Each structure stands twice: as structure tokens, then as C-alpha cells.
């Protein structure tokens, strides 16, 4: 029987880069879709508002695992066989989009109403209001919760191994199947996740403190 040694540890560590890649892709695509949904959620058109609200509610009310299975098996049911990495990216992007849409809607809404009034009174169009006045402020407000959500995303990438994609989690499971030294293996896997997530958590908290300080003076 194989034992858990340096080569196995190295294998796991290398797989962590796939976890990071998956996180980056899901965050990138998810934030584009999420941004669109956030604006739709605040649109003056009722149908758009309703649609965005429904999308956000549904995605936030089902397990990420189901989003994954739905996009994996759903697409193969209509004849599209996605490679695991694409299925994983697609489903995580959907998951990300719903949560970011909600975070960003909240951020946009927490820009004081008077900023809309003042900019409208200066004859700005709605697009100009968003671009020059509202979004620059909303983005600042959204930074701490967005970074905080990034931590959730990194952790949730761990479930995509179920479609066969070899990320940090899957690598740990493979090594475990060969060595049965689960305690050491999952300590290492956990430590790597922690090493990615903990700095992000601290950053989120730090940003929040900075923001609170600048708001109170």
C-alpha cells in the first residue's frame, strides 16, 4: 500500500491551483451576470425586477450541489456533454451571480437617496447617474461583503469534485483512496483551504473597518 508522503502532498498542493483557477473563473463570469441581475433588480420595469428577484430567490434557495447536477445532467439530457471543468465553472458562475447580485443590489441601495436627487437635479441621465455618482460609491460599499463572499466561493468549489474534476478536494480524496491516511491528508487539504480563505476573511474585515471609520467622520 502506498503511504502519504511528499509526492502525494505535492500532488495535492498542485491541485490547489485548479481550485484557484475555478474560483477566479466562476467569480469573473458570475460577477458579470450578477452585475446585470443587480441592475435588473433595481430597474424601473416591473417585469425585469420580478424576473431578477425570482432568479436570485431560486438560486439562493437550492443547494449548490443541485445547481451543479442540474447544469451537468440538464445539459447532457439535451445532448451537450460538458467536460467537468466547464460544468463546474458554469454551475459555480450561476451560484456566484445570484449571491453577488443580491450583495450589489444592497450596496447600490445603500447609496443615500439624496445622491440620486442631487445628480438628477444636475441634469444627469440615469446612465450617467449610475456611472459617475452611484456605482463608484456602491463599489466601495460592496467591497467587504464581496471579498467575504469570495471565501464562501472558495469553500464551495470543494463540491465540484463530484463531477470528476480534480481540484484540491478531489486530489485529497484520490490520495486517501490510495493511502487510507485520511487524518493527515484532510488536515493538509483543510490547511490549504484555510491558507487561501483566512487572508481573504481578514481582508474583508479590514475593509469593513476602514469603511466604518471613513463613514463616521
Residue whose CB is less far from another protein, 32 or 174: 174
Long-range contacts of 182-185 (CB under 8 A, 24+ apart): 184/4, 185/4, 185/8, 185/12
In whole angstroms, how far apart are CA 130 and each of 59, 94, 117, 118? Answer: 26, 24, 12, 13
Q: Which is nearer to another protein, 36 or 65 (CB)?
A: 65
Q: What is the DSSP string of 123-156?
A: T--HHHIIIIIIHHHHHHHHHHHHHHHHHHHHHH
Please report how close the Cβ of residue 28 comes to another protein at its closest, in angstroms: 21
CB of 156 to another protein, least distance (A): 7
Q: Which of 70, 88, 96 has the alpha carbon at shortest distance from 152?
A: 96
Between 32 and 43, name the residue whose CB sits nearer to another protein: 43
Applying CB under 8 A, the residues found at the interface with another protein are: 57-58, 60-66, 69-70, 73-74, 76-77, 114-115, 117-126, 128, 132-133, 136-137, 140, 151, 155-156, 158-159, 162, 169, 172-173, 176, 181-183, 185-187, 189-190, 193-194, 197-198, 201, 214, 217
Cell of 77: 439530457
Helix (H) or strand (E) holding 192: helix 182-216
User: Measured from the CB of residue 66, what is the shortest distance to another protein in angstroms?
Assistant: 4
Q: Which is nearer to another protein, 7 or 190 (CB)?
A: 190
- C-alpha closest to that of 89 among 22, 31, 18: 22
Minimum CB separation of residue 38 from another protein in Å reads 18
CB of 94 to another protein, least distance (A): 12
Of 32 and 171, CB closest to another protein: 171
Q: Which residues contact 87 (CB under 8 A, 6 or more apart)?
A: 68, 71, 72, 75, 160, 163, 165
By beta-carbon proximity to another protein, the closer residue of 32 and 208 is: 208
Residue 123 CB, shortest distance to another protein, in Å, is: 4
Q: How many helices (H) and strands (E) would you count in the chain?
A: 9, 0
**What is d(CA 151, CA 204) in angstroms, rounded to the nearest whole number?**
9
Amino acid at each position: 500500500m502506498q503511504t502519504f508522503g511528499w509526492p502525494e502532498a505535492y500532488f495535492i498542493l498542485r491541485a490547489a491551483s485548479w481550485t484557484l483557477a475555478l474560483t477566479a473563473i466562476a467569480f469573473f463570469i458570475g460577477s458579470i451576470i450578477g452585475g446585470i441581475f443587480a441592475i435588473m433588480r433595481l430597474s424601473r420595469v416591473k417585469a425585469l425586477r420580478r424576473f431578477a428577484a425570482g432568479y436570485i430567490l431560486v438560486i439562493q434557495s437550492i443547494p449548490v450541489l443541485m445547481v451543479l447536477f442540474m447544469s451537468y445532467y440538464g445539459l447532457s439530457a439535451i445532448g451537450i456533454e460538458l467536460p467537468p471543468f466547464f460544468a463546474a465553472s458554469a454551475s459555480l458562475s450561476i451560484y456566484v451571480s445570484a449571491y453577488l447580485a443580491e450583495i450589489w443590489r444592497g450596496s447600490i441601495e445603500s447609496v443615500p437617496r439624496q445622491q440620486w436627487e442631487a445628480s438628477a437635479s444636475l441634469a444627469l441621465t440615469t446612465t450617467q447617474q449610475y456611472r459617475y455618482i452611484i456605482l463608484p460609491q456602491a463599489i466601495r460599499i460592496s467591497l467587504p461583503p464581496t471579498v467575504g463572499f469570495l471565501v464562501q466561493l472558495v469553500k464551495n468549489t470543494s463540491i465540484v469534485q463530484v463531477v470528476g474534476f480534480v481540484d484540491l478536494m478531489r486530489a485529497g480524496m484520490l490520495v486517501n483512496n490510495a493511502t487510507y491516511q485520511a487524518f493527515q491528508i484532510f488536515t493538509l487539504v483543510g490547511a490549504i483551504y484555510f491558507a487561501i480563505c483566512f487572508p481573504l476573511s481578514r481582508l474583508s474585515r479590514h475593509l469593513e473597518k476602514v469603511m466604518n471609520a471613513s463613514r463616521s467622520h
